[in-house]
Amino acid sequence: MKKRFNSVNDSTMKALLWKGGLGFKSAFPVPEPSPGWALIKVSRAGICGTDLEIMKGYKSFKGVPGHEFTGKVVSAPEHEEWIGRRVAGEINIGCGRCAWCLGGKENHCPDRRVIGIAGLDGCMAEYCTLPVGNLIEIPDDISDDAAVFLEPLAAACRILDQIPLEGREKIIVLGDGCLGILSSWVLSTVVKDVHLLGRHGWKLEKARWRGMKTSLASQWSGEPVDIVVEATGSPDGIADALRLCRPLGTVMLKTTVSSQIGPSLTQAVVKEITIVGSRCGKMGKAINLINTFPDIPIELLVTAVYRLEQASEAFSLASGGPSLKVLFKIP
């Protein structure tokens, strides 16, 4: 492959590759952006729970994993005005032709690709590509480490799009991983009574912000609440969520796992509970939230930072060690 870009010194790059096992490649081909797409030099990439599920077979993905990132645009055919901008990116790429895409809901396009998850190499590499329309410029006052959280923070903000809140609700968030903590923070900006239940005292300590309450799930003995957000990352979480939700309440599901989620839904029927699936949100709303609440302690969630060459140690810590967010600093 010939050299193509002034900002790219070689036609190969360092990258992680998943093909039934995770490997580090020192000379993986640099992706070439199509017209309307951008080539991004990645500076940070985060390990997400979805990445860990990919290692268990989720979506049968093979390629470069990773979808949480920040970097700078180094090439953008037809959109040179983007070159040099520091960006993050919306992760879903629709076909652009179906009714979902034409209606602005490409997240539900049946033929969509998802960076690092389905049909498109991800960001755990020196370079990645996305359509220019998926990019969002990162304000100067948001650090690279904080910007990696824009994708999961946007997913947490999605809750506010799906459930109308008056501020008087009683809400439980189940799960003290990053998504559970971020969801608690987002909800606490509009609701006074938000309670995060988890399994790790040290994570719950880091999660405290804006008067929200935290408890070990094993010690919870309160009354069922109006809304339960299930973000445990476990196929068993929905059963706990249904138990903690009052009759005629709402359970919002955030967990995606490779194994089958198959609890009894009898409680949902008997208690007439509304179940809402919730996935990706818009990064612009995440940036607005950070701007509105500049004291939001996002960077406290970073446990460790590794190089790509240390992928084995990084994924080991992310999957089984005492961690919240593990990042790669690239290069």
DSSP 79: -
Alpha-carbon distance of 287 to 282, in angstroms, equals 9
User: CA-CA distance, 307 to 13, in Å (whole number)?
Assistant: 14
Looking at CATH, the fold of the domain delimited by 156-277 is given as: Rossmann fold (3.40.50)
Whether residue 147 contacts residue 140, with contact meaning beta carbons closer than 8 Å, is answered with no
DSSP 233-256: SSTTHHHHHHHHEEEEEEEEE---
> So where are the chain's domains?
12-148+297-329, 156-277
pLDDT at 4 exceeding the cut of 60: no
Q: What is the pLDDT of residue 331?
A: 84
Q: Report yes or no: 49 and 56 within 8 Å, Cβ to Cβ.
A: no
Region 133-137 average pLDDT = 97
CATH number of 12-148+297-329: 3.90.180.10
Predicted pLDDT of residue 262: 62
pLDDT band at 264 (very low <50, low <70, confident <90, very high): confident
Residue found under tokens 């002034």: 6
176 touches 207 (CB < 8 A): yes
pLDDT at res. 257: 76
- Phi and psi torsions of 99, nearest 5°: -65, -35
Task: Please determine whether the domains at 12-148+297-329 and 156-277 fall in the same fold group of CATH.
Answer: no
Question: What percentage of the chain has pLDDT greater than the value 90?
Answer: 87
> Is residue 248 within 8 Å of residue 124, measured between CB atoms?
no
The whole-number pLDDT of residue 205 equals: 96
The per-residue pLDDT for range 202-226, each reduced to its tens digit, is: 999 999 999 999 999 999 999 999 9
The DSSP bridge partners found for residue 98 are none
Residue carrying structure tokens 């969630």: 301
Give the DSSP letter string of 167-208.
S--EEEEE--SHHHHHHHHHHHTT-SEEEEEES-HHHHHHH-
The yes-or-no verdict on residue 169 having pLDDT over 90 is yes
Instruction: Determine the Cα–Cα distance for residues 55 and 49; give it in Å rounded to an integer.
Output: 10
Backbone angles phi, psi at 235, to 5 degrees: -65, -15
Distance between CA atoms of residues 241 and 238, nearest Å: 5
